[in-house]
Homo-oligomer: A and B are copies of this chain.
Amino acid sequence: MNDFDPATLRALAFDVFGTVVDWRGTILKEGAIWSAHSGVAVDWAGLADAWRAGYPVAMQRAMKGEIAWGNIDALHRGILDEIRPRFGLGDLPEAEVAHLNRVWHHLDPWPDSAAGLARLKTRYTISTLSNGNVALLVDMAKHGALPWDCVLSAELFRAYKPDPAVYQGAARLLDVAPHELMMVAAHPSDLLAAQRAGLRTAYVARPLEWGAGGYREPFGDARFDVLADDFLDLAARLGA
């Protein structure tokens, strides 16, 4: 692929939503339980996709100062309130809306995530690097038994990925040079921004992120240092 040598690497920074955890599958699972209890059928797949699709838009609004900065719960809630009437949940009681919105704090990891991270941790420092805030990432790690060495968030840099300040800030806090840090993500756009900031990059395929046959962000002519099928494959490729 290129001249990348894992021996030059000291730390890995992971995108979280979609790369480490299965947001869509978790929303579908919890939605199905709710529908079974309430007897109300909902197009949970459609809701999940619309909810997630609203995220980049809401982040841009936050960056422009139209939404309070760094409050990802409020950001998720704003999107949910906008879309839920379309899915027959316009009259959902406040307590249930608040409960549904908390789903982002306890998303289930992909089946290989915890085991792959544990292997990678034996050789590298492993950290989150998500636009999700620290408290949410901590909740998610506890829920999924994700063995992070460190929980870093865009929140700490008062910016959002793909702003280079986030990638460079992570290298600074971990006290490594940018080229000693590898961004791991299922999203080429995240990796391209990390690459421009001087980081190494690993693309991990998550073909089910948007469901079977669902959306996959195109690669274009991007070149990453490592391409992996999952975190266990990534560990093998990085000698961990």
Contact = CB atoms under 8 A, between A and B. Distances in A.
Interface in A131-165: 133-136, 138, 141-142, 149-151, 155-156
A174 B125 contact: no
Contacts of A138: 125, 149-150, 174
Most buried by B among A134, A136, A155, A176: A134
B174 A150 contact: no
A173 B125 contact: no
A30 interface: no
How many copies are assembled? 2
A175 interface: yes
A125 B142 contact: yes
A29 to B, nearest CB: 24
14 contacts: A125-B138, A133-B175, A134-B150, A134-B175, A135-B173, A135-B174, A135-B175, A136-B175, A138-B150, A142-B149, A149-B151, A150-B151, A151-B151, A155-B173
Interface of A: 121, 125, 133-136, 138, 141-142, 149-151, 155-156, 173-176
Contact of A149 (B125, B136, B141): B141
A149 B142 CA distance: 7
A174 B141 contact: no
Contacts of A151: 149-151
Contacts of A133: 173, 175
Contacts of A121: 142
A49 to B, nearest CB: 27
Most buried by B among A121, A135, A141, A174: A135
